[in-house]
Amino acid sequence: NAGVTQTPKFQVLKTGQSMTLQCAQDMNHEYMSWYRQDPGMGLRLIHYSVGAGITDQGEVPNGYNVSRSTTEDFPLRLLSAAPSQTSVYFCASSALRAEDTQYFGPGTRLTVL
């Protein structure tokens, strides 16, 4: 199993550009989520999904869109990048029980100039 994979590893954007961060998991997990990590802030939840076709907002959703057309994939879209979105982005997946472990991808480091 590859676990949770994310692409790209690094990305530099100019303000106003759009892009999609890819996330895929091969563990048949129903739950997937996106976090951003900023220095001194820990990780904050952006969006999450409890299954194909179902998404919802987390703590910091503004400026980001998500969709979940398959169980395996959960892309994160930035429609018009802003410098405030410079961060490290982590995708995670888990089964749906409360005690289930969330498995994290290796992260995408995004810089918006």
Partner 1 sequence: AQSVTQPDIHITVSEGASLELRCNYSYGATPYLFWYVQSPGQGLQLLLKYFSGDTLVQGIKGFEAEFKRSQSSFNLRKPSVHWSDAAEYFCAVGAGGGADGLTFGKGTHLIIQP
Q: How many residues make contact with partner 1 (CB under 8 A)?
A: 31
**Amino acid in position 78:** L
Nearer to partner 1, 17 or 67 (CB): 67
**Cβ–Cβ under 8 Å, residues 47 and 34:** yes
Is 101 among the residues that bind partner 1 (CB under 8 A)? Answer: yes
Give the phi and the psi of residue 62 in degrees, each rounded to 5: -65, 130
Site string for partner 1, 17-56 (x = CB under 8 A): -------------xx-x-x----xxxxxx--x-x-----x
Closest by alpha carbon to 9, among 113, 105, 76, 94?
Answer: 105
The verdict on whether omega for the bond into residue 8 sits within 30 degrees of 0, i.e. cis, is: yes
- Is the dihedral angle over the CA atoms 77, 25, 50, 107 positive or is it negative? negative
Site string for partner 1, 49-88 (x = CB under 8 A): -x-----x-x------------------------------
Residues that bind partner 1 (CB under 8 A): 4, 30-31, 33, 35, 40-45, 48, 50, 56, 58, 90, 92, 94-107
